[in-house]
Amino acid sequence: MKLFRLLTLLLVACGATTLARANHHEEKLTFVLVHGATAGGYEWKETGKYLRDEGHTVYRVTLTALGERSHLSAEGVNLTTHINDVVNTILFEDLHDVVLTGHSYGGMVITGVMDRIPERIKHVFYFDAAVPEDGQSIYDSFGGGRGGNRPEPQVENGRLVMDWLPKNPTSWPHNVGHPIGTFTEPVSYKNPAALALNVTYVPFVRDAADETERAANNAAWQRAKARGWTIRPYPGSHTAMLETPKELAAHILANVNNTNAPAAD
Amino acid sequence: MKFTPRFLALVLLTSLAAVVARANHHEEKHTYVIVHGATAGAYEWKETGRYLEEAGHTVYRVTLTALGERSHLSAVGVDLSTHIMDVVNTIRFEDLHDVILTGHSYGGRVITGVMNEIPERIKHVMYFDASVPEDGESSYSRNGPPANLLIKNGRRIPEWLNENPTTYPHNVGQPFGPYLEAVKYNNPEAFKLNVTYVPFIAEGTDPAERAARDRNWQNAVARGWTVRTFPGSHTAMLENPKDLSVLMQAAVTDTNTPTP
């Protein structure tokens, strides 16, 4: 009986979907996503949506004086302010087993968060991000200024105003000048429990040549490797999450259970 | 039980109906922007928000500057405009439209300013046991100085506040600036928004008696807003978040009655 067989097949398929959905819920994760310099939580909206669609909980923290918090003064805002933005989100929302991610400058912030509350963190992702040593500021880590033939960035009202920023933006979202105090304050990264966290370092790479060159010469990459972190390159520009958010969400989910290799000494 | 084609067809139809129901849910999906009250933080709306999310809606719980997980920020210089911008910028930077905007307690002053600033982004507004200020009014101009006023570092410290909390989440001193700043509510587009006013009615209290003396309630009625009472204390969202989330979904289609 053809109809019977067809109906049985469909029924099994429906059942399998339901089971898959139920399993999903059991493995539900809590993500805390931290954006980079001059940006805001909005840059991770699409990636966050795909993670939510898979049943996970997503917090996109916007750092003080940036994005939808850019009406706040940047004067006096430093790296500690931004670390507190994330630490307090985790404490006030009572989050545990957090998958913590940082993009670009956000690597400085999440390093400080790891040092403060490692017991709340399950896994960490650095997306094309700064990987500082204990006691380094991002300027120590990367070198200040821009060099080359580009004009030196200007500081206005406590913000580093890059030449490419929109002058008087009339549309949203938009990048804004970055609080300079966050670039000069060193980060603390010496808590043994923080050093023991499993971390995945995800450089965004343009092509094979870019990957080879940076694996050989990029300080963040080499620190990640020396610490035994899992390295999982992802194709795209420095803002790859805006180009392929769905695939990045899949990349994140595929790597949350990575474990560190023994660190090289 | 025999797995006859008829039985299987029935089960299949039921499954399909569930899938269709889920799809319909997605079509009616709303975007909620939820604003907490004085000394609190978005954490007070975590459970209510979770129920809304489980029903397929998108939820933004904004924590106001110098409160909750933003309490490490100085309260000096924080005023009502700061808190209004916290919400306006969330809506702009996240590119939200047809927002269901809700405010609790002091949050009523904040959402009033948001309505005045960007009415075109708002689909419906809900005041939960909240202030309903008039144009040009501040908390101070309506109520005078709070009783036993103690201000430290730009924050009002209520008598009941634990100033050295060691657990999370916790209340913190409320920035005093917002008490003093008058709210603007003079945009004709803001007046047209459909609003539901939801007083929380504590057990043993008389709603009629409250309606007769509560200026917020009276302003709501005068403006033709829909009034829906909800049982509970001033923080009823902590007591009965699930039922409150049901009200928040039902009230979305409330429409104002014409006012003289």
How far is residue A155's CA from residue A171's CA, in Å, rounded to a whole number?
23
Spell out which residues of chain A touch residue B71, defining contact as CB-CB under 8 Å: 88
User: Is B92's Cβ below 8 Å from some Cβ in A?
Assistant: yes
For residues A91 and A170, is the Cβ–Cβ distance under 8 A?
no
Residues A92, B90: C-beta atoms closer than 8 Å: no
Residue with the larger pLDDT of the pair B251 and B4: B251
Q: What is the pLDDT of residues A206-237, one digit of tens each?
A: 999 999 999 999 999 999 999 999 999 999 99
Q: How confident is the model at residue A145 (pLDDT cuts 50, 70, 90)?
A: very low
The percent of residues above 90 in pLDDT, for chain A, comes to 82
- Residue A92 has its nearest CB partner, among B11, B41, B73, at B41
- The answer, yes or no, to whether residue A136 has pLDDT greater than 70, is yes
Single pTM value for the model: 0.90
Residues A85, B8: C-beta atoms closer than 8 Å: no
Query: Which DSSP state fits A223?
Result: H
Name the burial class of residue B53, with classes exposed (0-12), middle (13-18) and buried (19+) by CB atoms within 10 angstroms of its CB.
middle
The two three-digit tokens of residue B101, written as one number:
């905007």
Spell out which residues of chain A touch residue B73, defining contact as CB-CB under 8 Å: 64, 72, 81
- The answer, yes or no, to whether residue A99 has pLDDT greater than 50, is yes
What number is the average pLDDT over the span A141-161? Answer: 72
How far CA A131 is from CA of A179, A221, A222, in Å, comes to 19, 8, 9
CB–CB contacts below 8 A, A to B: 86
Quote the minimal CA–CA distance from A16 to chain B in Å.
Answer: 12
A227-240 burial string, b = 16+ CB within 10 Å, else e? Answer: eebbbebbbbeeeb
Quote the minimal CA–CA distance from A69 to chain B in Å.
Answer: 6
Spell out which residues of chain A touch residue B63, defining contact as CB-CB under 8 Å: 92
User: Is B26's Cβ below 8 Å from some Cβ in A?
Assistant: no
Between helix B80-93 and helix B107-117 the angle, nearest 10°, is: 60
Of A260, A101, A104, the closest CA to residue A196 belongs to A260
Residue owning tokens 């994330």: A86
Q: What is the pLDDT of residues B128-159, one digit of tens each?
A: 999 999 999 999 999 998 888 999 999 999 99
User: Is A67's Cβ below 8 Å from some Cβ in B?
Assistant: yes
ipTM: 0.90
- What's the CA angle centered on A13, arms A7 and A17, to 5 degrees? 145
Q: In DSSP terms, which residues pair with B156 in a beta bridge?
A: B151, B174
How far is residue B102's CA from residue B43's CA, in Å, rounded to a whole number?
15
Quote the minimal CA–CA distance from B154 to chain A in Å.
Answer: 16
Quote the pLDDT of residue B16: 55
- Residue A92 has its nearest CB partner, among B86, B90, B169, at B169
How far is residue B171's CA from residue B193's CA, in Å, rounded to a whole number?
32
Go through the domains of chain B in sequence order and give each one's CATH number.
29-253 (3.40.50.1820)
- The answer, yes or no, to whether residue B30 has pLDDT greater than 70, is yes
User: How many residues would you count in chain A?
Assistant: 265
Query: For chain A, which residues make up each domain, given as ranges?
Result: 28-255
Quote the pLDDT of residue B27: 53
User: Is B76's Cβ below 8 Å from some Cβ in A?
Assistant: no
Residues A42, B77: C-beta atoms closer than 8 Å: no
What number is the average pLDDT over the span A129-153? Answer: 75
Would you state the torsion angle of the CA atoms of residues B63, B44, B252, A53, taken in this order, to the nearest 10 degrees?
A: 80
- Residue A68 has its nearest CB partner, among B5, B72, B90, at B90
Residues A92, B69: C-beta atoms closer than 8 Å: yes
Average pLDDT, chain A: 90
- Residue B65 has its nearest CB partner, among A1, A10, A72, at A72
Tell me the Cα Rg of chain A.
20
Name the burial class of residue A258, with classes exposed (0-12), middle (13-18) and buried (19+) by CB atoms within 10 angstroms of its CB.
middle
Residues B95, A42: C-beta atoms closer than 8 Å: yes
Q: Which CATH superfamily is domain A28-255 in?
A: Alpha/Beta hydrolase fold, catalytic domain (3.40.50.1820)
- Residue A172 has its nearest CB partner, among B8, B43, B95, at B95
Q: What is the pLDDT of residues B98-133, one digit of tens each?
A: 999 999 999 999 999 999 999 999 999 999 999 999
Q: What is the pLDDT of residues A154-194, one digit of tens each?
A: 999 999 999 999 989 999 999 999 999 999 999 999 999 99
End-to-end CA distance of chain A: 68
Q: How confident is the model at residue B59 (pLDDT cuts 50, 70, 90)?
A: very high
For residues A223 and A147, is the Cβ–Cβ distance under 8 A?
no
Quote the pLDDT of residue A1: 47
How far is residue B162's CA from residue B173's CA, in Å, rounded to a whole number?
9
Name the residue type at position B184.
Answer: K
| Residue of chain A whose Cα is closest to the Cα of B68 | A92
The percent of residues above 70 in pLDDT, for chain B, comes to 90
- The answer, yes or no, to whether residue A50 has pLDDT greater than 60, is yes
Backbone angles phi, psi at A107, to 5 degrees: -65, -35
End-to-end CA distance of chain B: 66
Name the residue type at position A65.
Answer: A
Quote the pLDDT of residue A130: 97
How far is residue B41's CA from residue B38's CA, in Å, rounded to a whole number?
8
Q: What is the pLDDT of residues B178-190, one digit of tens each?
A: 999 999 999 999 9
Q: How many CB atoms lie within 10 A of CB A25?
A: 9
- Residue B8 has its nearest CB partner, among A11, A89, A172, at A11
Quote the pLDDT of residue B26: 46
Q: How confident is the model at residue A141 (pLDDT cuts 50, 70, 90)?
A: confident
Query: Which DSSP state fits A68?
Result: G
- The answer, yes or no, to whether residue B2 has pLDDT greater than 70, is no
What number is the average pLDDT over the span A11-37? Answer: 68
Query: Which DSSP state fits A161?
Result: E
Quote the minimal CA–CA distance from B42 to chain A in Å.
Answer: 8
The CA-based diameter of chain A, rounded to the nearest angstrom, is 78
For residues B178 and B109, is the Cβ–Cβ distance under 8 A?
yes
- The answer, yes or no, to whether residue B6 has pLDDT greater than 70, is no
Q: How confident is the model at residue A146 (pLDDT cuts 50, 70, 90)?
A: very low
Quote the pLDDT of residue B13: 57
What number is the average pLDDT over the span B61-71? Answer: 98
